Amino acid sequence: MAVRRRARAWLGTEALLTGGTGVVVAALVLIPVAMLLYTSLRVEEFGEAPYFSLEKYTEFVLSPRILRSIGNTLLVSAGATLLAGTFGTALAWTHARTNMPGRRLLEPVTLIPFFLSPYVGAIAWSYLAAPRVGLLNGWIRGLLNLSSDPLSVYNRWGIIWVLALFFTPVMYLFVTGSLRRMDPALEESARTSGSGVFETTRRVTLPLVSPAIFSGAILVFVSCAGEFGVPLALGTPYKIETMTTQIYNLTGGSAIDYNASAALSTVLAALTVTFIFIHRRVVLPRAYTTITGKGYRPSLVDLGRWRYAALAFNVFYLLMAVILPLSAMFLVSISVRWEGRFEPGALTLANYSYVFTYPLSARAVWNSVKLAAAGATICMVLAMLVAYAIHRGRGRGRALLDFVSSLPVGFPGIVLAMGILITYIRTPLYSTLWILLVGYITRYMPYGQRMVSSALLSLSPELDQSSRTSGASWLTTVRRISLPLLKPGILAGWLLLFVIFLREFPISVLLYKGGLEVLSVAVWYFVEHESAVRAAAVAMVQVLLVLVATILFRRLAGTDELSA
């Protein structure tokens, strides 16, 4: 009884709010995961009584067709990770540790692909390197007098290439973060011990950032394995399927089988969650703590003449990941028609006016903006409360809440969407915008939470406590001390989520119904059912919205926020 009274005396607003949020977040995450597992263990044939069985695993998942798609997933993910790892590490090192010209200018543009939709990137690359209608194919054909097309993106190499380009910034963020946090004295003592710049780089700098490289590689691999838009755009036209496209194929059409889709989803989730788990338990604890308080600038490696080679490499990356695809898409979007050649005589804005007048796409723009704004707001409120419960609370379930609330990070969008579809299909939420909202929040709340958490961890708890001992209640303390101090982090988190939601594809495509289209779904619909020029125009609208929000984000947050 004493315990209960004590609890009540202490609990009050703080525990009610943070504890309640914890329960809600745990339910949001755990119910779809449980439903997914449950569905995967059942067989529900039309006209037969449903029963429990492992047959979706033993027969379906192990069938040659599905094994081939699993092989494809592993292959393209490994390839893309290798390529993105090399690109990202090289870019990071040249920016953070060398005297390459133009470093300051290049840094923000190198991150642009991070904010863009890989799906739209894949579409843009199809304008560049599709057989027959690819711009690059046309140029190279003309230049070298070839009779056939030298390039095609509609194969595994194309998928690897586009994935690598778009996940290079993830790698870049991890490695620059680690390089910037490193105590320069570590490198300086190698120098004063008698090793030269390059030897120091090889024997001290790179080994010290290797945990960050490894962390980045795991995250890129997991993201690629869960990526849906790129293999959909580049693989399915020539029947190259991956796990994510198969999961999607089974949710509609003649092959519809939710049990099989759930089983394959579970296998994919098991793969990605295992990797994330290894990362958290094995890689992170081994990361060297190299942070110190002193802010000396590290000495830069003088690349000599090679610094122009480094610059050329940087420019090459930007051309491939940003300039060429976006220019191609823009040119397509202002063309009257697209047959692989830019015709300066036949330019028009009609495609854009079509986008804003055709009901489906006009609706999609509005739905996306609405969902992004509402989703980001709700996510940040939840994120605040969860981060508070984890880092400032004293409840027993803190470690558990931390685990559960970050679990969705390990789940590919299409997998979590599958769980959400199964969970909410029989509720009134289905076929309203609410189910998309719930999907977005469930999948992406952890990103907001990590932003708030890193901001919260950099604030001394004594700042809150001195408000309490000054006579302010918990609520007053949150309102007058914590919120103002966390404001930059919360705003940055809001904008990041806003961007993510504007371009979100796998969850949207699985959960939408007619009337609930969002931007990515409209792009997909236009690619399938309308002309290339109109598809390019919708995609450009999305890119422009994303870029505006990204510029605002960059004003508010440093790059450190992204790798946190």
Partner 1 sequence: MADYVCVEGLRKAFGREIAVDHLSFGVEKGRILTLLGPSGCGKTTTLRCIAGLEHPDEGRITIDGEPMTSAAEGVFVPPERRSVGVVFQSYAVWPHMTVFKNVAYPLDVRKWPRAQIAKRVDEVLELVGLSRFRDQYATKLSGGQQQRVALARALIFNPRVLLFDEPLSNLDAKLREQLRIEIVRLQREVGITSVYVTHDQAEALVISDQIIVMNHGRIEQQGDARAIYARPANRFVAEFIGLANLLTGEVTAAAGPAGLVRVEVALSPARRLALTASMPGGGPGMRVIVSIRPEDVEIGPAPSASWDNRLEGVVVSAMYMGSYVDYQVEVEGARIRAHAKSTTPCREGERVVLGLPAAACVCIPEGASGS
292 near partner 1, rule: CB under 8 A? no
Choose between 183 and 464: whose C-beta lies nearer to partner 1: 464
Residue 466 near partner 1 by CB under 8 A: yes
Residue 396 CB, nearest distance to partner 1 (Å)?
A: 12
- Nearest distance, CB of residue 486 and partner 1, angstroms: 10
Please name which of 168, 161, 157 lies closest in space to residue 84, comparing C-alpha atoms: 168
Minimal distance, residue 400 CB to partner 1, in Å: 16
Label residue 192 exposed, middle or buried (CB < 10 Å: 0-12, 13-18, 19+).
exposed
Strand partners, 98: 301
User: Which residue from 470, 544, 551, 558 is in contact with partner 1, where contact means CB under 8 A?
Assistant: 470
Instruction: Give the Cβ contact number of residue 182 at 10 Å.
Output: 22
Report if residue 473 touches partner 1, rule: CB under 8 A.
yes
Cα 113 to Cα 139, 165, 232, 320, 495, distances in angstroms: 25, 8, 19, 10, 16
Instruction: Decide: is 218 part of the binding site for partner 1 (CB under 8 A).
Output: no
If binding is defined by CB under 8 A, does position 399 make contact with partner 1? no
- Binding track over 236-265 against partner 1, x by CB under 8 A: ------------------------------
DSSP 327-368: HHHHHHHTBS--SSS--TTSB-SHHHHHHHHSHHHHHHHHHH
Structural contact between residues 113 and 321, judged by C-beta atoms closer than 8 angstroms: yes
Which residues 6-65 are close enough to bind partner 1 by CB under 8 A? 6, 9-10, 12
CA distances from 12 to 62, 235, 399 (A): 53, 55, 21
Q: Which one, 420 or 481, has the nearer CB to partner 1?
A: 481
Least gap, CB of 41 to partner 1 (angstroms) = 38
Alpha helix stretches (DSSP H) within 41-102: 55, 64-97
Q: Which residues pair with 301 in a beta bridge?
A: 98
User: Of 287, 485, 556, 564, which one interacts with partner 1 (CB under 8 A)?
Assistant: 485
Hey, what are 94's tokens?
A: 């040249």
Range in contact with partner 1 (rule: CB under 8 A) among 56-64, 198-206, 322-330, 465-473:
465-473
Angle at CA of residue 509, ends 277 and 63, nearest 5°? 60
Q: Please give the DSSP secondary-structure letter assigned to residue 155.
A: S
Cβ neighbours of residue 515 closer than 8 Å, sequence gap 6 or more: 363
Kindly state whether residue 484 participates in binding partner 1, applying the rule CB under 8 A: yes
- Under the criterion CB under 8 A, does residue 394 sit at the interface with partner 1? yes
Closer to partner 1 by Cβ: residue 289 or 469 = 469
Residue 470 per-residue DSSP state: T
State the minimum distance, in angstroms, from the CB of residue 216 to partner 1. Answer: 32
Exactly one of 209, 329, 481, 562 binds partner 1 (CB under 8 A); that residue is 481
Only segment of 75-83, 121-129, 471-479, 552-560 that touches partner 1 (CB under 8 A): 471-479
Q: Which is nearer to partner 1, 1 or 49 (CB)?
A: 1
Q: What is the DSSP letter of 408?
A: G
List the one residue from 428, 469, 514, 528 that touches partner 1 (CB under 8 A): 469
Nearer to partner 1, 12 or 71 (CB): 12
How far is Cα 399 from Cα 382, in angstroms, rounded to an integer? 17
Q: Is 295 among the residues that bind partner 1 (CB under 8 A)?
A: no
Q: Which residues bind partner 1 (CB under 8 A)?
A: 1-6, 9-10, 12, 394, 460, 462-463, 465-474, 476, 480-481, 484-485
